[in-house]
Amino acid sequence: MASDNLIDGRAIADQINEETRRQIEALRERGTPPGLVFVRVGEDPASRVYVGMKEKTCARLGIESRTEVLPEDTPERELLKLIAALNADPAAHGILVQAPLPPQINEAAIFAAVSPNKDVDGFHPLNVGKLLLGDGGGFVPCTPAGVHQLLIRSGLETSGAEVVILGRGNIVGKPMAAILCQKAEHANATVTLCHSRSSDIAAHCRRADILIAAMGVPEFVKADMVKPGAVVIDVGVNRIADPAAKNGSRLVGDVDFAGVQPVAGRITPNPGGVGPMTIAMLMANTARAAAMATGMDPATLQEN
């Protein structure tokens, strides 16, 4: 497989993690070891894996993390009680409530209960509003922030570009659109947000200079939907049946990688593209939250 047009998310995540590690060292020298608390309700296998990966990265970079695990049948009020305690805990600079949550719990209510100053996932309504207003003082959701860094650090121009985003979710699609349409450096794009009710999605895709697939449909984007030379970012994570695989299934993205790679100018692999960036941006947000908690200007950490 040719790799000259791949956007290497692992390599770029390593760059960001090294920058974050230096910031964490500076914080620890000043007596503020960054702390991140994961909250998991139930034993969803995917959630356990995701939290485990994040914990390992915390340990590698010097973030002090712990995980609070509640039973699957936990009432919403008990989870809210835990979040209130974490909001008041000065050692917990960041709080991440792992989704999905069981049906008896309202996710929106939980995300809104986390202190916006500890909301390293960027889901609190105050942080969402700051993003829409172009206020850089809030936290940006980790996956779209990671995609943005992939574009920036790969030298890909967004100003004036036609960007098509597939998926209007609150975690990726909407914040991604908000990031790229800002009147700001590394933004200034013309953004089209497609979704399940959009007509002729393929025609929209063929206009895109940058196509970001985040709709959760396995291998939806085919080669004939991509403008030759376009940048293709695959955010999707989908499990499909595969009798030849060890466990009878395998993970694929929203892009038919084998078909699209020869057409694309640049493309993210999956895995190895967006996934590592999401974790890297979570670590960066946590370091920033720790700096803010002690009254430091997070920008000063960049000098270390």
Helix (H) or strand (E) holding 163: strand 162-166
Would you call 54 a catalytic residue per the annotation?
yes
User: Looking at 98, 149, 182, 261, which residue is catalytic?
Assistant: 98
User: Looking at 54, 118, 130, 227, which residue is catalytic?
Assistant: 54
For the chain, first and last CA: distance in Å? 39
| C-alpha–C-alpha distance, residues 271 and 253, integer Å | 8
Long-range CB contact pairs, 117-120, < 8 A, 24+: 117/289, 117/292, 117/293, 118/86, 118/87, 118/92, 118/93, 118/94, 118/289, 119/95, 120/36, 120/94, 120/95, 120/96, 120/282, 120/285, 120/286, 120/289
Neighbours of 15 (CB within 10 A): 12
Helix (H) or strand (E) holding 252: strand 249-252
Exposure b/e, 16-27, CB count within 10 A at least 16 = b = bbebbbbbbebb
User: Looking at 121, 209, 234, 254, which residue is catalytic?
Assistant: 121
Helix (H) or strand (E) holding 95: strand 94-97
Residues labelled as active-site residues: 54, 98, 121
